[in-house]
Amino acid sequence: MDSFLIEGGTTLRGEVQISGSKNAVLPIMAATLLTAETCVIRHVPDLSDVRFMCQILTSLGAEVEFDGSTLKVRAANITGTGDYDLIRKMRGSICILGPLLARLRKATVSLPGGCVIGTRPIDLHLKGLRTLGTQIRIEAGYVHAEAPDLSGSLVFLGGRAGPTVLGTANILMAATLAEGVTVIESAACEPEVVDLADFLNAMGARIQGAGSPTITVTGVRELRGVEHEVIPDRIEAGTFAVAAAASGGEVTLRGARPDHLGAVLDKLQEAGVRITRRAGALTIGAASNLKPVDITTMPYSGFPTDMQAQLMALMCQAPGTSIITERIFESRFMHAAELMRLGADIGIEGPSAIVKGGAPLSGAEVMASDLRASAALVIAGMAASGTTQVHRVYHLDRGYERMEVKLEALGARIQRVPGE
């Protein structure tokens, strides 16, 4: 497995282009199954998760062409049975269930996999689809679903940790071709859901309220092909913003959307980080006096769980005590032990991490446990003295497009070491 070798102590300066959103493009790719016509998707990041989804669509019978950052999909003749080995490797693959049901009225999809960051059941997905009239059974690792009379209904998607983003996407896509009106209550409000709704509406769907807790979908008979540009990745933008602050430098994030980053920017400013907003860009400057902050992860528009690890890496440098509380996933502090290998002072008490920052970090060999933990270890490694080697960076390749190349262009001393 590949690793990153990082020589710490460098300052990041310059500009970086923010790629298209991973969490937006995967459901949009799944939504191409709703029509027999060609869909063209632009600003697509070249990620391993995107490549996996291309393979999944191909295994279902779709014609897929991925050239540069443009993806073309024609799903004229498709089957409702997904490839077990492909789908189980990636949690985002579960979002093919809704469009397959809508288009074919039946689907067989394996239970999904992904990062090990805690239990992420699909019970709300299945509950919502059952409410629309779907008959579902789980057998031998597969979800078998049939909906000969897919019909609109009132669907409530609130869960223990708040609304489900992929569940909202699944129900949204299924409802586009259902009979009648579907009202989704406690819907996820993330920008990625809005981007999916924009894509579906351009296809001819009738969706209102995306971005709010209540989404109304009036079913239509068919959908058409469309061209669409994916929104920029707010988590990649947030990660580079934290990296800039942790390095003591100044980085301009081209294409970043400040309106998608409200909670992250608020906490960075509270920590003393300088932020300049301009049309189409954000400039992040180092704090003259980095201060500790407390955060609690919440559903959008609260502080995103996908930025928790990165901010923890930054708080390791802030003199004083920060309390970071994780309310979305119960096992998302696995990076804390690896940060401690670098010299961080972190204690875990239930759902909270107590970070006593300000002690110097020094390089070490660390192991990435998931996608965002990997990013946190890279940030900490760049801030540490000496050499840090981050193992298992295949996690990073799932969600960051050529991260080491972008960081090197900003002045980082980082290289990919191929695995044996």
By annotation, the residues acting in catalysis are 115
What does the alpha-carbon distance between residue 174 and residue 103 come to, in Å, rounded to a whole number?
A: 8
Phi, psi of 416 (to 5 degrees): -85, 130
Rounded to 5°, angle at Cα 69 from 282 and 2: 85
Please answer whether residues 56 and 82 qualify as being in contact, where contact means their C-beta atoms are separated by less than 8 angstroms: yes
C-beta pairs of 339-343 under 8 Å, 24+ apart in sequence: 339/312, 339/313, 339/366, 339/376, 339/377, 339/380, 341/365, 341/366, 342/316, 342/366, 342/380, 342/381, 342/384, 342/388, 343/384
Neighbours of 36 (CB within 10 A): 15
| Tokens, residue 131 | 């409410």
| Tokens, residue 213 | 């807790």
Neighbours of 277 (CB within 10 A): 12
Residue 67's DSSP bridge partners are: 70
